[in-house]
Structure 1
Amino acid sequence: MSVNSGVVMPVAAMLAAQAVLSMATVTLPVLAPAVVAESGPPFSWLGLYVALIYATSMASGLISGALVRRWGALRLSQLCLLSACAGACLLGTGHVAGMAAAAVMLGMGYGPLNPASSHLLNRVASPHHRSKIFSLKQTGVPLGAVLAGALLPPLVLWGGWRVAVWVVAGTCAMLALALQPLRAAFDTDRQAGARVGLDSLAEPARMALADPALRPLAFSSFCYAALQLCLGTYLVTYLTTEQGYSLVQAGLTLAVTQAAGIAGRLVSGDLADRSGEPRRVMGAMGCLMGLCAFVSAFAGAWPTPLLLLLYAVFGASAIGWNGVYLAEVARRAPAGAVSVATAGALFVTFAGVLAGPPAFSFMVLAGMSYGAAFMAFAAPALLCGLALMRRTRRQAG
């Protein structure tokens, strides 16, 4: 992909913000065994914690279009990072109430970031490279999880889990400060007097669901996101409690999964731009992630290299679709309303995130194994993938 200097800096800034916020949101799932061993809630509460993050993300995301107009995408991204910093600090209290408050603050930061970054990147992206650029920025999500999985467990061994949490909080604050010199160039389209009211909450959902071409993608994103978040939330616990992995080994497996997700996002973005069929690319990813989720329930006795290969493919598919999805939303959004349309589309996506981990938790509490719970989430993703590919073939015909 050839890029000009006007694209590099916005992509780098939004990629960094996405990675750091992603690292903050997965901090507790990665550190869960160490936190629970000291004084934390049981493992089954992880799903509720993640659900609270994304419930808050859904609400805060709806207002993001109006906030982008008023403050600018860069300023809103800085505020998102500072909110995540506050959330990490609250997480360090080790109390259930502090963790709940941490989830709210993390969600307030995570929800508006994608609409803000989509607004900014759509201004500089060539239509022929939109999926690549959006997918490149979206690699920040698995990149943040890679950093969390690879760096946080060793920090726990060195200084305890609270030290790891303070490092995350400091990283969020430092990046927010580092982005300040870019604001004058990035927020030239902000409207200081733009109104932010209750009607701003309904506008995004109305815009996203009014487009019949986007509705199947939005529904698929619900199922894909549910499986993606269950993979990121429960993989470490699954491997340590049912497969006999150590925390460091499980963390490194998560890092491999998320690293493969980075490759998956880059490859899917390139395929979508080259083929001109983003729906077919999203359909193929759904089929692949569903198959991997099913097989993972039977792979515990596999040799380590084969197990890592399975989770690499699982990560590449379950994490690799988001950039193509956001680029397609931006392509179909009305002029000047990319952040609003993205907020509406992500409301549906985050609903899948909100439903997935708690449902997974309830399955485990009801007596299902983690492997069986992954199988239960495989079917919807696989069916959505097949439906998208079939719909694409019909449209082509």
Structure 2
Amino acid sequence: MRHTPFCVRFIMAAPRTVDGVEAENTKAGLTQSNSSSGDPKRPQFGTRFLTDPRQVFQHNAWDNVEWTDEQEEAAKKKVLENNQPLPPEKQEEYESRANEYWNEFYTIHENRFFKDRHWLFTEFPELAPQCNPNHEPHPDVSGTDSTQQDGFDLKQCRDSAALSGDSCDFPGSSATYRILEVGCGVGNTVFPILKTNNDPGLFVYCCDFSSTAVELVKTNPEYDSNRCLAFVRDLSNVEAGFPMPDGTLDVIVMIFVLSALHPDKMQASISRLARLLKPGGVMLLRDYGRYDMAQLRFKKGRCLSENFYVRGDGTRVYFFTQEELHELFAEAGLEKVQNLVDRRLQVNRGKQLTMYRVWIQCKYRKAS
């Protein structure tokens, strides 16, 4: 079904958000984009479609919004107007001080800025209860010591460790289902998973570039060190180690985090993460799409490179196309399961404002 196209002006003076807060507070109804991705249209989470532009302010959000050619051209023109990169020395400053800016952000906002991402279980059922195909308790709970755990061969690991002198034991080594969130912030993905998924074989890892954010996760009263491990990790530092061996993770989650990296470092970062997945493991992503409202409201003097910007607080953000993300995952050896664009029209009925949001959601699998 094609819904009537309409034209509503772009609003640039929307409140600033970090890691897609506005995305998390609305129903994430995803639709197939107009690109030739080949994905079948999926069932809608939200089914509210605007067919009469006069009714735009009757609801807070509309699904499956199609842009007119005029809207698309206006967005491209706006981006081109602001495409004046800052001098190299300023770009290097934002790169070298990235950790400082994110620590400052979490110091200021702590837990007051964020809401838990409960929409995750609808969009990514791999995170929900009953997602573990084994459904077996931890070996230490059952009193047995399985040497084969859903694709991860403990015996092989121990034999290898004996030869190398390393240890095969690691946090979560007895788990039968392991999830890693990269860029965990203050835990708005981790804690809903722990509260919702009571699988005794589950272990959740979470890491963030900001030591301040990780400390906020660890001091949260819901943090359970028996089921979760939070640690500091710079995703772009591909030489740094992880607390788990390669080939041990069932799921890796990245929610509005890849966009914070310098574009030149994205491929190596994704490829490094892919090595952590088990055969059949999946990488889940939701991030900013090209011509999202957040991109269109950037003023001149904020552009670092094409489609890459710096916010007023020094944190950075990139705006993707589906094709760019597909290339990153495919180059890392992952197979496409899902690559969708979510175009939504959000409405502030009190102020009579309309705001276009564009997000991309991906799911890529490591070959079995």
Q: TM-score range by the shorter chain?
A: under 0.3
Return the TM-score normalized by structure 2: 0.23
Higher helix share: 1
Q: Which TM-score applies when normalising by structure 1? A: 0.22
The structure number with the bigger radius of gyration is 2
More strand by share: 2
